[in-house]
Structure 1
Amino acid sequence: MSLRRADTVVIFTEDADWHTRRLRAAIEREGFTVLVLSLNDCGFAIGETAHGLVLPGLGDLLPAAAFVRLIAKGSTEQITARLGLLHALRELGVKVMNDARAVERCVDKSMTSFLIAQAGLPTPRSFVGEDRAQMQALVDSAPGDMVLKPLFGAQGRGIRRIPARAPLPEPDRVGGIYYLQDFVAPAVAESYQDWRVFVIGDTVAASMLRRSPGWITNIHQGAVGVPAPHDPRAHDLAIRATAAVGADYAGVDLIEDEQGRLLVLEVNSMPAWKGLQRATEIDIATALARHLATTLTPVPAA
């Protein structure tokens, strides 16, 4: 069955913030109408609508494409339903950027680490488990400090540095799951920085170094972004890491170890870019909109 499409790109988000406003304007410059929706307000209507979905403002029409900016926190059931809707749009042939598969892989840091390693990319040793005693044994036998991260987390919140043989928190303090990663000592002692590389398609759109007086190098935690030097190693790793998780675009975090080797830390499928744009003066929203437009064929009038 052929379903009619609107000449509309949906931005899924929870806030008409700076990012959404910039992205909306950029997509409109590409000739599309933009509809901003929360996934919370969408759902399924199987046997009722032509496509079986509830998409406020579109009725029986499918969007030309969808851009996933933010997904709200919620219960397991709520998150499953929201991701299910993104899966359904993809099954209906709608371009979703990033689609649910990439979002799921990046939100779950354990899967991100697994896929990065499977792609043959350098990344710190990582361990995930529920048993506190087993994970404590890893900390006690580690050659150096480890980093305890929330399995689902962003913007540097909830990250802890665990010295060798220091006690891990109780399970209820970490959501019942421990994600441990070797701490990567900086190439220059007490000089903390990492890379944020923004990949769109198979191209690096912009990159910056995030420098901090402390070991957490996130802009939201007080780090300062400066333009990164051109480094083919960093660009290659970031592009390959983005491909490894199946994302159309991503914010890839890299770190340089004491030997000068770059390692992939994380891949973010819904990255912010305000700090990056401030540091590099590159219009990320325009680059995202142009990439999305190139993936679409002309949409006939409904």
Structure 2
Amino acid sequence: MLSSLAILGSAKSWHVAELLKACSSQNICCSVIDWGTIGSFADRQGERFRPASLHNADAILVRTMPAGTLEQVISRMDMLARLSNRGSVVLNNPKSLESAIDKYVTTTRLMDAGIPVPRSAIVQSSTDLRSCADEFGGVAVLKPIFGSNGQGLVLFEGDTKQLPPFFSEAGVAVAQEHIANAGWDARILVVGSEAFAMRRVAADGEWRTNISCGGRAESFTPPQEWLQLAHSAAHALGANIAGVDILPGSDGSPWVLEVNAVPGWQALQTVTQENISAAILDTIRHHFDSKPHVGRH
């Protein structure tokens, strides 16, 4: 029986506050752990993780994935993998997190699974970008390899003087075909076997539908095909909890644009009566109950 949960995230977060309330109502002891405080120690007696609440937790929920140095990111993922290997339930699992963090890897995993995604390319120069835009019909969506909430996304239409700073700083980006659309998309939050959906409508004068970019959340019942597509996209990345963004093209055909393995649901919760935090706990409990726990402590 699931009795303790460690949440890797910020204690000031709305999402964490909602999860804490859900844990309290289900008698689950919950601790909130900042990424900057975690560590591990290995000797002949075995491996120990700190803080103790992380080491002893029945399950671990990755609520945020903060920026850091390459060494920090790799070390954190390594520790999550070790925790998972010793029997702790880690959602999402480290492999799915690694896949979803990288936008190009996400796209190619989806493509391999037969899921409709826009044409995409890795570009390392303005020449590469211009060539891709020409192949895509004159317009490309330029994205940072790592990023979320629409941050850094720009529509490139051939003017290399208007490239975003992140491109020159990182030296690499993803160029993606721009899909003509009506200014809205759907965010489908996959939580285990369940799914919760909202329509996101772009603000006036804005092409991005992200809530953080001024998009508006609306209640939405997606077609069954879209729900199946969202579950298939999450499965392709091995994610049990995933935010899948589906854009209807001008002909109505659905395209999967993103899969977020550390998704938020604050805006989505405003347009559904379902308790999403409770559903997340149910999914965590299901994985805990179905996983062998040998030698975890």
Q: TM-score, normalised by structure 1?
A: 0.89
Q: 1:260 to 1:16 in 2, by over 3 A?
A: same
More helix, by proportion: 2
CA-CA distance at 1:79 after TM superposition? 0.8
Partner of 1:33: 29
Q: 1:51 to 1:217 in 2, by over 3 A?
A: farther
Partner of 1:153: 147
Distance 2:167 2:122 in 1: 15
Q: 1:171 to 1:217 in 2, by over 3 A?
A: closer
Q: Is the 8 A contact 1:40 1:82 kept in 2?
A: no
Q: Deviations over 1:92-149 (max 9, x none)?
A: 1111011111111111001000000000000100111324322322223431421001
Partner of 1:286: 278
Match of 1:18 among 4, 10, 14: 14
Q: Is the 8 A contact 2:120 2:176 kept in 1?
A: yes
Match of 2:70 among 69, 76, 99: 76
* 1:180 is the counterpart of 2:172: no
Aligned residue identity for 2:47:
G
User: 1:65-144 maps to which residues of 2 (within 5 A)?
Assistant: 65-144=59-138
Aligned residue identity for 2:133:
V
Distance 2:50 2:244 in 1: 31
Match of 1:225 among 217, 223, 228: 217
Aligned residue identity for 2:188:
V
User: 1:192-231 maps to which residues of 2 (within 5 A)?
Assistant: 192-204=183-195, 206-212=196-202, 213=204, 214-231=206-223
- What secondary structure sits across from 2:271 in the alignment? helix
Distance 1:58 1:83 in 2: 18
Q: Deviations over 1:8-52 (max 9, x none)?
A: 21101134311001112213333321111122211120017x551
Q: 1:295 to 1:43 in 2, by over 3 A?
A: same
Match of 1:234 among 222, 226, 232: 226
Aligned residue identity for 1:181:
Q
- What secondary structure sits across from 1:46 in the alignment? strand
Which shows bigger deviation, 14-23 or 176-185?
14-23
Q: Is the 8 A contact 1:234 1:262 kept in 2?
A: yes
- What secondary structure sits across from 2:208 in the alignment? coil
CA-CA distance at 1:222 after TM superposition? 0.5
- What secondary structure sits across from 1:210 in the alignment? strand
Q: 1:96 to 1:43 in 2, by over 3 A?
A: same
Distance 2:179 2:8 in 1: 35
Partner of 1:55: 50
Aligned residue identity for 1:173:
S
Q: Is the 8 A contact 1:51 1:62 kept in 2?
A: no
Distance 2:166 2:84 in 1: 37
Aligned residue identity for 1:257:
G
Q: Deviations over 1:163-219 (max 9, x none)?
A: 2x3327377535110211111111xxxx30001000011321x10110113210000
Kindly, what percent of the aligned residue pairs are identical?
27
Q: Deviations over 1:242-265 (max 9, x none)?
A: 000000110000000011100100
Distance 1:43 1:262 in 2: 43
Distance 1:295 1:6 in 2: 10
Aligned residue identity for 1:76:
L
Distance 2:53 2:187 in 1: 36
* 1:166 is the counterpart of 2:159: yes
Distance 1:233 1:6 in 2: 34
CA-CA distance at 1:228 after TM superposition? 1.1
Q: TM-score, normalised by structure 2?
A: 0.90
- What secondary structure sits across from 1:266 in the alignment? strand
Question: Superposition RMSD on alpha carbons, in Å?
Answer: 2.3
- What secondary structure sits across from 2:185 in the alignment? strand
Structure 2 unaligned segments of length 5 or more: list them. none
Q: Deviations over 1:49-74 (max 9, x none)?
A: x5513221348x53211000012211
- What secondary structure sits across from 1:281 in the alignment? coil
